[in-house]
Structure 1
Amino acid sequence: MPPRFVDLKQEIASSYPDFEQRATKAWNEILVELEDVSKKIVEGGSESIAQVNFSQLDSLTSSEIESIKRKGCVVIRDVVDDAEARGWKDALEEFIKSNPDVEGVPPDNKQFFQLFWTKSQVLARSHPNMLAAQVWANNLYHIKSGRTPEGVDLSTPLSYADRFRIRRPGTRWDVHPPHVDGGAIERWQDEQFRTCFADILSGNWRAHDPYDLEGRLNARSSLYGRPNQSTVFRTFQGWLALSETAPTQGTLKVFPDVLISNAYLILRPFFRPRVTGDPQALLDPKNWAFDISTPEFPGTFPRDGGFAGPRPTPALHPHLRLERTMTSIPAVKPGDMVFWHCDVIHSVEEEHTGEEDSAVMYIPAVPSTPQNEAYVKRQFDDFVQGKRPADFPKGQDEIGFVGVGRPEDVVNPLGRRAMGAPVEVM
């Protein structure tokens, strides 16, 4: 990392009273807590991840809600009818056959597609149940002060256009190791973003609330204009299953405790191991010393003119015990939805040992905020022109493809509102 990030560490340290003392105390507490949390995650496995039926979202108890929030991940069953979800996948397959030149990877066996405006995607994003699920997810957030800023509405969902995958059995993927999206060095560098983690940095890490909305509204998660870096605030990332997928079949994996992982990742740059060659020593709290003399933010690294990450690894973040704690999502069926909090560490299984495709559409939960509304309005213009949305690398237009979606395909008023369609078009 550039030498100037030493100054960033020192700036942060000077912003909090008794930073070294408080951060060291918090760090030691977090390491002890992580050992216990890790054991519970491993023992629970996939079934420890919250699962709820779409029809039951409004009847969950407060303890069930708190459990979902702590884990930061939930499977919502039966958001869309199985047959409708399967139909969208069939239409995607037909789209790919009708347009063989569409961009996808790997080039010789395309499975992850740089497509945003197929009719299936347009219909799925605007489905009433999909929008309702997003509203529920958005409303897990709150503003501690109780004063909702002007232009913020958690019950008005917006559609963020993303891509889809149809992963074939037997293929190996190693491009999505454990990582966190929605900002890399920005989590520390952007002063507004940093306020989201103020309790951690002040040493009061147990009071950290990953669902406090206030600091996130104007946080800049993309300071360097890197491609594939979301400029929109997504409360949860998400995907809709278009096929049956189970653990070991190329599914999503998560570290299911967003509070403790946030606390660890945010404080990690301020500590270094005294001994590095001994795996057991790396886990010993006594082996770690406070150090702000280097520019490194472990797991964050230069890329595309900016910085990528955070990408925790067993070597750099040993206390997360990622080899055992990264937990596969339970088996899903077509029409099931998976949401994971924007700070959750997640990855994709390298192996797909199943016999059927593992197909999903990426559809996050996005609330109405001034910043998000502005993006979605620009995104609607991209949709009309068949261009890729602004957050993604430039590439081939879709307007000439056979089967591309159009604004008139969306008849649901809420769906059109979510797309950012102008009033006269709605």
Structure 2
Amino acid sequence: MTTSFSSLTLPDDYKKNIVEMKRAMRAQIGDIAGLFRQVCDKIETEIAAAREEEKRNGSAWPEISYADLAAGKVSPQQIAQIKRRGCLVVRQTFSRESALEMDRSMLNYLDENHFDEVYRGPGDNFFGSLEASRPEIYPIYWSKAQMSARQSEQMAATQSFLNRLWHFQQAGGSWFNPDVNIIYPDRIRRRPPGTTSKGLGAHTDSGALERWLLPAYQKVFRKIFTNRFAEYDPWDAAYRPEVNEYDVANTTKCSAFRTFQGWTALSDMLSGQGLLHVVPVPEAMAYVLLRPLLDDVPEDELCGVAPGRVLPVSEKWHPHLIAGLCSIPAVQAGDSVWWHCDVIHSVAPVENQQGWGNVMYIPAAPMCEKNLAYAHSVRNALEKGASPADFPQEDYEQAWANRFQLSDLNINGRRALGMEEN
């Protein structure tokens, strides 16, 4: 398994690598068109079922309460539906008042350190390949509100529940420890009332070119790439902690393995107000992977994929998937929203948004050798108040007042940064 926090250099001739990969994959798979039809049938069936769930329940997203999660009262039927959809809302992971206080605290932190005066604009172009605009992201990582949420008992219990949806055991051990998560510091979004936004186009994170070109990712998706789609299980963790990403200058990447991406609401958000959408079919990654192998795609192209950018999903290349985007339900401050690391997601456009749209991005990143190596870099960044290694080195917070300190870590936080035995 991966033993160090490392990245890979993108080959100068990666277009040649794409051509060679396609030739090898086509020979390995055989009937590409037949396999793609099989995948489309699965996706169309699941999207039709999700639309029925929307009509019946108001949303295709499974919902559970944090109280039930913490008490071990989530039923097998609920777990099966979460795995089927690859996403869920955990209601009141934090109390509404606690979340609203986090939001006030974060605003005070930004104001007292004059963020509006020093902000220099986006430090990367990570979303530049998407058709819609970027969301209102603040490159802030070390507020007391963010860190308190990351090291809280509520977050630890929720992340453990999510990790245990995966098959993480292997011969002689396990791919990760489901009950200890590293702190993976990410940014915040603050979107004020009255905002008009184009949203954010459909995409996936955690690897774009890498999903085709790297041997570890080819092992992750081996059932797809050997024409055994019926055996493919998106919840199988095998080889995922061995995947790295190419190191491309001045962009965002992910050097940790995340079972789920997620955010925690810091404001109430109404339906139709620029909310997150997903394609609630975790197997849909098979469509994305196979689509460039069809005959209508140029031999050195991967349907819009570019180095150092998110993996775009578009109407041009992926119409079945765009047709399947389903909105989260309305959320309250304190609810947390989660989606499987392969699940395609977008942010809907909005005109004259009603109310705030504020969130903290906190994923589930279970402890493994790969994640422990990244956790050590997180500890160093926290100590200095620097931007984490996976993000542009903007370093706004190094001299900020009231920044979270190493001494503020509780036992969860210390364990999450590799400072205590797990």
**Length-normalised TM-score, structure 2:** 0.86
One of 28, 49, 59 as aligned partner of 1:47: 59
Per the alignment, do residues 414 and 255 of structure 1 end up closer, same or farther by CA in structure 2, a change over 3 Å counting?
same
The change in CA–CA distance for 1:385 and 1:317 in structure 2 (over 3 A counts) is same
The question of 1:234 aligning with 2:258 is answered yes
Report if the CA contact (8 A) 1:169-1:249 is conserved.
no
The superposition leaves residues 313-340 of structure 1 with CA deviations (integer Å, 9 ceiling, x where unpaired) of 01111222x1x42111111111111111
Aligned residue among 81, 96, 99 for 2:110: 96
Which AA in structure 2 matches 1:49?
Answer: W
2:47 to 38, 43, 53: 38
Q: Does 1:134 align with 2:159?
A: yes
Instruction: Give the aligned partner of residue 183 of structure 2.
Output: 159
Partners of 2:121 and 2:80 in 1: how far apart? 39
Which residue of structure 2 lines up, in the alignment, with residue 85 of structure 1? 99
Measured in 2, the distance between the counterparts of 1:2 and 1:386 equals 38
Say whether 1:268 aligns with 2:291.
yes
How far is the alpha carbon of 1:225 from its aligned partner? 5.8
Structure-2 residue corresponding to 1:193: 217
2:302 to 297, 303, 319: 297
Q: In the alignment, what sits opposite 1:68?
A: 82
Measure, in 2, the Cα distance between the counterparts of 1:353 and 1:172: 5
Is the contact made by 2:195 and 2:351 (CA closer than 8 Å) also made in structure 1?
yes
1:2 aligns with 2:2: no
- Give TM-score scaled by structure 1 length: 0.85
Q: For residues 377 and 365 of structure 2, what CA distance do their matches in structure 1 show?
A: 15
How has the CA–CA distance of structure 1 residues 38 and 299 changed in structure 2, closer, same or farther, with 3 Å as cutoff?
farther
1:252 aligns to what? 276
SS of equivalent residue, structure 2 residue 165: coil
CA separation of 1:213/1:173 partners in 2, compared to 1, >3 Å: closer, same or farther? same
Could you tell me the percent identity over the aligned residues?
30
Structure 1 pair 47–147 and aligned structure 2 pair: CA distance change class (3 A): farther
Aligned-residue offset at 1:86? 0.7
Matched to 1:361, the amino acid is M
For 2:390 and 2:305, locate their aligned partners in 1 and report how far apart those are by CA, in whole Å. Answer: 20
Letter in 2 for 1:300: V
Check the 8 A contact 2:140/2:396 in 1, yes or no.
no
Alpha-carbon deviation of 1:145? 4.3
Which residue pairs with 2:129 in the alignment?
none
Return the alpha-carbon distance in structure 2 between the equivalents of residues 268 and 358 of structure 1: 34
Going from structure 1 to structure 2, the CA distance change for 1:221 and 1:59 (only over 3 Å counts) comes to farther
Deviation at 1:41, TM superposition (A): 2.9
SS in 2 for 1:239: strand
1:348-405 Cα distance to aligned partner (Å, 9 max, x none): 1221554211111000001001010011111111101000000000113413112211
Find the residue that maps to 1:384 and give its secondary structure.
helix
Partner Cα distance (1:177, 1:60) in 2: 33
Contact kept in structure 2, 1:49 and 1:75, CA below 8 Å: yes
Q: Give the superposition deviation at 1:253.
A: 1.0
Q: Which runs of no fewer than 5 residues in structure 2 stay unpaired? A: 1-13, 124-134
Instruction: Report the more deviating stretch, 391-400 or 361-370.
Output: 391-400
2:203 aligned partner: 179
Q: Aligned-pair distance for 1:127?
A: 0.9
Give the CA deviation at 1:106. Answer: 7.9
Are the aligned partners of 1:238 and 1:365 in contact in 2 as well (CA < 8 Å)? yes
* Aligned AA (1:135): S
**8 Å CA contact retained: 1:252, 1:346:** yes
**CA offset digits 1:68-88 (Å, max 9, x no partner):** 012110000111121111111
Where does structure 1 differ by over 4 angstroms across 4 or more consecutive aligned residues? 104-107, 223-226
The answer as to 2:417 corresponding to 1:416 is no
- 1:253 to 1:102, Cα distance in 2 relative to 1, 3 A: farther
Question: In structure 2, the residue corresponding to 1:39 is in which secondary structure?
Answer: helix
Unaligned 5+ runs, structure 1: 274-290
Match of 2:302, SS state, is coil
